[in-house]
């Protein structure tokens, strides 16, 4: 018969010490893990869809709510909610308009899904990390937080519930945007970009990688990315490379076989420096060239197939756009491009300019079946075929003349005014 195991004093002390160590480690982990620094408040109940929009643009539009959203460069609509990104980590229900421009070196940030009619937060997702940018893709909200020197913490949020979806780490530097082509999402930065599919698996990396485990796979890792534009299955990059006297235009296929070995469709030297990448579609790329200002249209091989002179003031010829992305929007049969002082309509098929409207504040959007463009004192209702101004809906912006980017959800017109998002009806 086996003798009963005898406990010694040393065994008891060792077991107690081990138990204390486990508790201490668990407590330390709870305070240092990413989960402990995250507050996720999902939806209570259900979020109704926004009611239908108006049948015509009202003669006057009144502000119904506003919210700080310095982490967005344009209104973000996902499902039934308006998504805002507050870089101050303040209470998203406060509605404060004291937000500042997005500062990735600052404190934490909050992403909120807001009721379109009232602006009331229906869900929120906060971290004690700086919020780099907020966008949308595949019907979900996308939040990118900074950890160290990279905007590396990427999270999807389901807009109808506020619950987290797929997550990933990225190597994108601060200062970029999220670009959705309807199939893939591109996250750009000053010298590196990544492309993701809906499960956030990386399909392409291009530029200066963090670790060069396989040298020679990136064609120009030393170049600066001055502009990025996307279309279905195409990523265009405007590059400025050491030792090259002019800018370079590169067109990439973002869904190749190997993510770290980008597939180029073409890469050509442009005839000037200080270019701007305006738009890309299925078989054309439009580039603004200075001296004199003109729109150069490039085909699938990078060859110039058309040149259109442009009457632009010197202030519109700045060598780079904020975030490396030109302010633009698709509306009816045109691509709307805001140069900095005027809205230019480009034909969606060949990207040729069709008409131009001076003294505007942003590219515009479609609202109540009409093309509307922000202008000082209101919204110009335009004829989509000619750009002729039909009338103006009054909007009080308290004298603001800075960029105004539009979007809509149901009867609500959204205006991104710098770090503030404003809803009008």
Q: Check if the beta carbon of residue 268 is closer than 8 Å to that of residue 252.
A: no
For 265, left (φ over 0), alpha (ψ -120 to 50), or beta? alpha
Q: Check if the beta carbon of residue 64 is closer than 8 Å to that of residue 117.
A: yes
Q: How many residues does the chain have?
A: 425
CA atoms within 13 A on the CB side of 336: 28
Q: What is the pLDDT of residue 56?
A: 97
Both structure tokens of 122: 């229906």
| Span between the terminal Cα atoms of the chain, in Å | 87
Domain segments of the chain: what residues?
329-402
Q: What is the pLDDT of residue 92?
A: 46
Instruction: Give the DSSP per-residue string, 161-191.
Output: T--EEEEEEEEEPSS--EEE-SS-EEEE-SS
Distance in angstroms (rounded) separating the CA atoms of residues 237 and 324: 9
Residues facing 144 on adjacent strands: 133, 154
Q: How many Cβ atoms from other residues are within 10 Å of residue 200's Cβ?
A: 19
Per-residue pLDDT of the chain (425 residues; tens, 9 = 90+): 444 444 455 544 444 554 444 433 443 433 444 454 899 999 988 999 999 999 999 999 999 999 999 999 999 999 999 999 999 754 444 444 444 444 444 569 999 999 999 999 999 999 999 999 999 999 999 999 999 999 999 999 999 999 999 999 999 999 999 999 999 999 999 999 999 999 999 999 999 987 755 677 899 999 999 999 999 899 999 999 999 999 999 999 999 889 989 999 999 999 999 999 999 999 999 999 999 999 999 999 999 999 999 999 999 998 888 899 999 999 888 999 999 999 999 999 999 999 999 999 999 999 999 999 999 999 999 999 999 999 999 999 998 888 999 999 999 999 999 999 999 99
Pairing between strand 150-157 and 140-147? antiparallel
Distance in angstroms (rounded) separating the CA atoms of residues 86 and 17: 45
CATH assignment of 329-402, among 2.40.10.480, 1.10.3080.10, 2.10.260.10, 1.10.3720.10: 2.40.10.480
Asked whether the whole model's pTM tops 0.75, one would answer: yes
Distance in angstroms (rounded) separating the CA atoms of residues 46 and 419: 29
Q: What is the pLDDT of residue 279?
A: 98
Pairing between strand 131-137 and 334-338? unpaired
Distance in angstroms (rounded) separating the CA atoms of residues 287 and 344: 13
* 420-424 sheet: strands from edge to edge: 63-68, 420-424, 412-417, 404-409
């Amino acid at each position: 018969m086996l003798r009963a195991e005898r406990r010694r004093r040393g065994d008891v002390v060792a077991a107690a010490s081990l138990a204390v160590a486990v508790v201490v480690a668990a407590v330390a982990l709870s305070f240092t893990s990413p989960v402990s620094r995250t507050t996720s408040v999902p939806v209570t109940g259900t979020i109704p869809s926004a009611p239908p929009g108006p049948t015509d643009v009202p003669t006057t539009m009144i502000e119904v709510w506003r919210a700080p959203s310095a982490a967005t460069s344009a209104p973000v609509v996902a499902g039934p909610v308006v998504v805002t990104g507050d870089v101050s980590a303040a209470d998203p229900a406060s509605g404060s308009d004291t937000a500042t421009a997005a500062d990735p070196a600052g404190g934490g940030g909050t992403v909120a899904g807001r009721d379109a009619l009232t602006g009331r937060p229906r869900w929120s997702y906060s971290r004690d990390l700086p919020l780099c940018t907020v966008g949308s893709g595949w019907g979900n909200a996308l939040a990118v937080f900074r950890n160290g020197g990279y905007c590396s913490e990427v999270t999807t949020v389901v807009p109808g519930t506020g619950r987290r979806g797929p997550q990933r780490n990225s190597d994108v530097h601060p200062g970029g945007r999220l670009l959705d082509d309807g199939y893939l999402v591109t996250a750009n930065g000053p010298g590196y970009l990544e492309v993701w599919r809906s499960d956030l698996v990386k399909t392409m990396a291009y530029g200066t990688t963090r670790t060069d485990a396989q040298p020679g796979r990136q064609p120009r890792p030393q170049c600066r990315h001055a502009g990025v534009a996307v279309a279905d299955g195409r990523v265009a990059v405007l590059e400025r490379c050491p030792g090259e006297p002019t800018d370079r235009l590169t067109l990439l296929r973002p869904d190749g076989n190997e993510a770290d070995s980008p597939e180029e469709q073409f890469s050509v030297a442009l005839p000037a420096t200080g270019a701007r990448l305006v738009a890309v579609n299925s078989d054309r790329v439009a580039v603004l060239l200075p001296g004199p200002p003109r729109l150069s249209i490039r085909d699938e091989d990078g060859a110039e197939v058309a040149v259109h002179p442009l009457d632009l003031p010197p202030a519109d010829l700045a060598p780079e756009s904020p975030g490396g992305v030109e302010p633009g929007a698709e509306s009816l049969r045109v691509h709307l491009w805001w140069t900095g002082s005027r809205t230019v309509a480009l034909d969606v098929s060949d990207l040729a300019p069709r008409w131009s409207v001076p003294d505007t504040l942003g590219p515009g959007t479609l609202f109540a079946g009409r093309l509307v463009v922000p202008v000082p004192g209101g919204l110009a209702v335009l004829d989509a075929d000619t750009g002729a101004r039909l009338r103006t809906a009054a909007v009080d912006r308290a004298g603001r003349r800075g960029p105004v980017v539009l979007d809509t959800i149901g009867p609500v017109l959204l205006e991104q005014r710098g770090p503030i998002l404003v809803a009008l009806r």
